[in-house]
């Protein structure tokens, strides 16, 4: 039985980086959040003839943008992403299951050379015929990661308790994927 909505037909759907966003939020100083995004990412959603989906995606961690160049340079450093040695993060799905009207996409996420299982909570936004380039599909997804699970264990304690950077990172995906012509 297919887990994929009928509108998401068999074939390769390629993530359109112009109409998609990979963002994140993390606690800052225990009281607010820093938001950022990655400008470089790519991926595909393969829908088999039986309707089973497979997702493969890559994020260029050197493309981080939090709106502060000094912070971005620090996050690229060995204290955080170690982007010189690990310039990409990857996600490879292992299964998809229905969750009411939404979906849970299970997979392996690799950051800094460390792979851990993660689950994306995904909403399927539908398919549109597109604007002459082929059909497009839309998805919103999110997951929460613990940075320490991926070897990002820098501690920057505050005098009043807590840390400068929180442990939990919320990753948000707003994806538009274009169907490759058969």
Helix (H, G, I), strand (E, B) or coil at 7: coil
- DSSP-assigned states of every residue in 42-89: EEEEEE-TTS-EEEEEEEEGGGEE-S-HHHHHHHHSTTTT-TTT--EE
128-136 long-range contacts, Cβ below 8 Å, gap at least 24?
A: 130/178, 130/179, 133/178, 134/178, 134/179, 134/180, 134/181, 135/9, 135/178, 135/179, 136/16, 136/19, 136/176, 136/177, 136/178, 136/179
* Residues 26-61: tens digit of each pLDDT: 866 566 688 999 999 999 999 988 888 899 999 999
Closest CA to 123 of 144, 106, 100, 145: 100
As a whole number of angstroms, the distance between CA 38 and CA 22 comes to 6
Closest CA to 130 of 16, 5, 3: 16
- Return the pLDDT at 162: 53
Helix (H, G, I), strand (E, B) or coil at 148: helix
- Return the pLDDT at 61: 96
- Return the pLDDT at 156: 61
Higher pLDDT, residue 169 or 4:
169
Structure tokens at 179: 């169907």
Q: Give the mean model confidence (pLDDT) for residues 20-30.
A: 80
As a whole number of angstroms, the distance between CA 162 and CA 167 comes to 11
* Residues 104-142: tens digit of each pLDDT: 999 999 999 999 999 999 999 989 888 878 899 999 999
Closest CA to 124 of 98, 143, 106: 98
C-alpha of 148 from chain center: 17
As a whole number of angstroms, the distance between CA 51 and CA 1 comes to 8
Strand partners of residue 15: 177
- Return the pLDDT at 16: 95
Q: Give the mean model confidence (pLDDT) for residues 81-85.
A: 95
Mean pLDDT, all residues of the chain = 87
* Residues 130-176: tens digit of each pLDDT: 887 889 999 999 999 998 898 877 766 556 655 556 678 899 999 99
Q: Which domains are seen in the chain, by residue range?
A: 11-177 (2.40.128.110)
* Residues 85-111: tens digit of each pLDDT: 999 999 999 999 989 989 999 999 999
- Return the pLDDT at 25: 82
């Amino acid at each position: 039985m297919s887990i994929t909505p009928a509108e998401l037909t068999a074939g390769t759907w390629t993530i359109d980086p112009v109409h998609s966003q990979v963002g994140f939020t993390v606690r800052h100083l225990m009281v607010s959040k820093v938001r950022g995004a990655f400008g470089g990412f790519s991926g595909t959603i393969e829908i088999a003839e039986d309707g089973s989906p497979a997702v493969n995606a890559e994020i260029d961690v050197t493309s981080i943008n939090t709106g502060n160049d000094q912070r971005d340079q620090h996050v690229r450093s060995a204290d955080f992403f170690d982007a010189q040695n690990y310039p990409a993060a990857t996600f490879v799905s292992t299964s998809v299951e229905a969750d009411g009207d939404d979906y849970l996409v299970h997979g392996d996420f690799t950051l800094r050379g460390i792979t851990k299982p993660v689950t994306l909570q995904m909403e399927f936004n539908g398919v549109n015929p597109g604007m002459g380039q082929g059909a497009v599909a839309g998805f919103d997804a999110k997951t929460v990661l613990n940075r320490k699970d991926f070897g990002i264990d820098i501690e920057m304690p505050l005098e009043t308790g807590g840390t400068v950077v929180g442990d939990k990172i919320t990753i948000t995906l707003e994806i538009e994927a274009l169907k490759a012509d058969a």
